[in-house]
Amino acid sequence: MKILVTGGAGFIGSALIRHLIRETEHEVVNIDALTYAANPDALEKAADDHRYAFEHVNIRNGEALRRVLVKHQPDGIIHLAAESHVDRSIDGPDDFIQTNIVGTFNLLDAARAYYESLDSARRARFRFHHVSTDEVYGSLGDEGLFTEETPYAPNSPYSASKASSDHLVRAWQHTYNLPTVLSNCSNNYGPWQFPEKLIPLMILNALRGRPLPVYGDGQNVRDWLYVEDHARALHQVFEQGRIGERYNIGGRNEATNLDLVHTLCATLDELAPNPDLGAREQLITFVEDRKGHDRRYAIDATKMADELGWQPRETLETGLQRTVQWYLDNPGWAESIRDAGYDGQRLGLAGNAHAANTR
């Protein structure tokens, strides 16, 4: 089987491609615009495999998408390409509208034309898997979990753009019979994540003895999912998920942002002690909260377990250990990000430097 992955040089996309090349016999076509957060190095040895091909394509370009589909003749699509940084969406929503909504429309339109050109046997095995976020559901109170039936209530430009793309995918399945499946995940973390996000920013700042900025009172809650667990789940949803269905993918690892940062500090103090710094929790600094900051996300992944037999392998503790160790083992990666112009500043909200996103 040949799978076309959009956004395959991104954080989650690269993890998925590494998994597909390492664990399956599938061929993979990666299309990516190579924007600021993409990193081809994250593909590691997968990019050297004879089953891998790359196309430098932006999903905003419908003509290029149609060309790639005709050229490579994939048996399915896993769509991850998206703008994903909430802070950036607050300050500049246009890119999110153009990429996440218009880009998804372009891909659906190209996929529909391609699908209709296939013979019946190839149509029977083709599917379009759209990868989305739990943020489309809005904010939870102190109790409860997001299920596949939770009504949509997006609260940021980012989550609204993803909700819109989800609805487009549903409409293309219902109206045009495009065989689609959809998944919504909780917060991902792990190796190769661009350090505008909370966990890598905290790790890199703590290693350098810089402030560890936490939004508001630090009591916002997120469910954390190790990226390799998510890659396994995406593969299973693509191959085994029922057409027209939605699957929530979560790590069952809820933590407040403040507790998470304390855990990271303790892990770093254990794995990379620095007597000159002392306990790194002393670096924690509370900063102005983000506009419209959702209080709590938590996913019920029962459907994934019951229908597809998927469970996360990593707890938050083991996943953070693996993540911290990766950053310790790969100091050159962070240096390359700094050389490219990013040095931990808060992106998307001018005038508030060094605050971290919780997505």
Residues carrying an active site annotation: 134-135, 158
Token code pair at residue 67 = 């060309």
Which residues, in sequence order, are CB contacts of 108 under 8 Å at separation 6+?
128, 168, 169, 172, 178
Classify burial at 230, counting beta carbons within 10 Å of its beta carbon; exposed 0-12, middle 13-18, buried 19 or more: buried
Helix, strand, coil percentages in the chain from 3-state DSSP, rounded to 5: 45, 15, 35
| Cβ neighbours of 305 (radius 10 Å) | 13
Q: Residue 234 phi/psi, 5° resolution? A: -60, -40
82 in Cβ contact with 12 (< 8 Å): no
Cα separations in angstroms, 273 against 189, 201, 267, 270? 23, 18, 9, 6
Side chain identity at 350, as an amino acid letter?
A: A
- What are phi and psi for residue 197, nearest 5 degrees? -85, 160
What tokens does 314 get?
Answer: 């990593």
Please give the structure tokens belonging to residue 192.
Answer: 């190769």
Helix axes 331-339 and 316-329, enclosed angle (nearest 10): 70
**31 bridge partner residues:** 6, 55
Contact between residue 299 and residue 203 where contact means Cβ atoms under 8 Å apart? no
